């Protein structure tokens, strides 16, 4: 009988310095020719300000701090138009998109942002206004902060009657490396791949409306992709990064079917990926491996790939088992009955049960919890995709295994803000 996936109790969270990743400021900054105005109390603004400084984007953000009297009097939303006018007079380059960020407090106040944006658009006709929410209290809802932010970013796209031979990669914060074979294969077939992080002008981003497919690389873009299919007529294909060679091939064939094209012979790419896994296993052997859900979006799928190749997978740290990983979770539990699957956010994590265990850690969370000196520098599959992603990840495993870097060092380098 196949074992059931674990379910974690709703309890007090322990948020370690390793927990974070891309914050809303950094994600929003990928919008070309844009600027951000945070309207929030001082404490809420601190988080975004630190993130902006660490990621060298502080010149793209300003703050309108509100206090208790603004909230109680109801004068809060009336301050925004004057603040926008003052802001536009102060900054050197006039933005084409102004994102107005509000905090959790706004969800409780029920501000009419549609009416507010209409007023602003009437006054500043050359600027597009977008409301964005930094509301971590919605983390366990159907529209958590990052899902809502993706919806806001892509909401400025308008339906196009022209369709071009191009696709959009959506949901992945960092653009996939152009060393990935999908770029050259698509290019040879006469197609282009877009990503918001590669755009320099708003015009380039608005051209995404002319694409024939959205390739969804993260669950955070699921809602926005459905909205774009409905409003813009762009179909979508969930195709999260994974390191299973057979699944990668299936995704590529599905892209071919959706677009009516041929990507050619994939056998050489498959062979190189398989060889990379074999070579990494020969070097790492049975050294214990731990996997972190913040490093890869499909940790259970990766665990199956590594186990099947002869790696010694000992632990997986997650905050939940999403539906798209349930089958992979059940498979790996059946293959490794004594596999530890822990809640990375449970308050018991603060007991550091796994400190000083010899292990190769894929991700900062497990690296921090174990204090391992062998930590793979990876967050959210950054830049990795396809067969190239398999080769690169195996290279990163070997580098971490042979190297000596703590999670603390990598966390500082990554600029994570809890």
pLDDT over 90 (residue 275): yes
7 confidence band (pLDDT: 50, 70, 90): confident
Amino acid 416: pLDDT: 64
Q: Percent of the chain, pLDDT > 90?
A: 69
Q: Which long-range contacts (CB under 8 A, 24 or more apart) does 243-249 make?
A: 243/296, 243/301, 243/302, 243/305, 243/389, 243/390, 243/393, 244/301, 244/304, 244/305, 245/270, 245/273, 245/274, 245/277, 245/387, 245/390, 247/301, 248/273, 248/386, 248/387, 248/390
Angle, alpha carbons 392-395-398 (nearest 5°): 155
pLDDT over 60 (residue 417): no
pLDDT over 80 (residue 169): yes
Q: In the 8-state DSSP scheme, what is residue 346?
A: B
129 close to 96: Cβ distance less than 8 angstroms: no
Between the alpha carbon of residue 200 and those of residues 153, 159, 168, the distances in Å are 15, 21, 15
pLDDT over 50 (residue 74): yes
pLDDT over 90 (residue 23): no
Residue at token pair 């010899």: 358
Please spell the DSSP secondary structure of 2-39, one letter per residue: PPPPP------B---TT---S-HHHHHTTSTTEEEEEE
């Amino acid at each position: 009988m196949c074992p059931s996936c674990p379910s974690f109790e709703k309890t007090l969270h322990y948020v370690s310095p390793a927990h974070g990743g891309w914050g809303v400021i950094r994600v929003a900054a990928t919008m070309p020719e844009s600027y951000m105005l945070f309207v929030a109390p001082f404490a809420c603004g601190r988080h975004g300000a630190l993130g902006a400084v660490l990621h060298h984007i502080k010149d793209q953000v300003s703050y309108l701090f509100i206090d208790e009297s603004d909230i109680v009097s109801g004068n809060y939303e009336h301050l925004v138009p004057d603040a926008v006018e003052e802001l536009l007079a102060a900054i050197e380059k006039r933005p084409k998109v102004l994102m107005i960020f509000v905090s959790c407090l706004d969800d409780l106040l029920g501000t009419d942002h549609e009416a507010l944006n209409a007023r602003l658009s009437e006054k500043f006709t050359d600027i597009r206004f977008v409301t964005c929410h930094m509301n971590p209290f919605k983390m366990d809802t159907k529209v958590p902060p990052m899902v809502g932010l993706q919806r806001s970013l892509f909401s400025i796209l308008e339906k196009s009657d022209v369709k071009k031979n191009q696709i959009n990669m959506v949901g992945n914060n960092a653009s996939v490396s152009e060393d990935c074979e999908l770029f050259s294969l698509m290019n040879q077939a006469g197609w282009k791949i877009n990503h918001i992080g590669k755009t320099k002008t708003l015009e380039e981003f608005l051209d995404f409306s002319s694409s024939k497919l959205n390739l969804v690389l993260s669950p955070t873009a699921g809602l926005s992709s459905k909205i774009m299919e409905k409003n813009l007529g762009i179909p979508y294909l969930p195709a999260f990064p994974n390191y299973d060679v057979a699944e990668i091939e299936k995704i590529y064939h599905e892209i071919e079917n959706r677009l009516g094209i041929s990507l050619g012979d994939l056998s050489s790419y498959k062979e190189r990926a398989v060889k990379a896994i074999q070579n990494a296993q020969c070097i790492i052997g049975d050294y214990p491996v731990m996997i972190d859900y913040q490093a890869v979006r499909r940790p259970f799928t990766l665990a199956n790939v590594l186990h099947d190749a002869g790696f010694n997978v000992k632990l997986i740290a997650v905050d939940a088992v999403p539906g798209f990983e349930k089958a992979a979770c059940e498979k790996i539990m059946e293959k490794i009955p004594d596999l530890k699957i822990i809640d990375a956010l449970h308050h018991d994590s603060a007991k550091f049960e796994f400190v000083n265990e010899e292990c190769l850690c894929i991700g900062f969370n497990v690296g921090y919890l174990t204090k391992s000196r062998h930590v793979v520098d990876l967050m959210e599959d950054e830049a990795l995709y396809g067969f190239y992603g398999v080769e690169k990840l195996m290279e990163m495993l070997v580098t971490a295994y042979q190297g000596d870097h703590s999670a603390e060092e990598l966390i500082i380098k990554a600029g994570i803000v809890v």
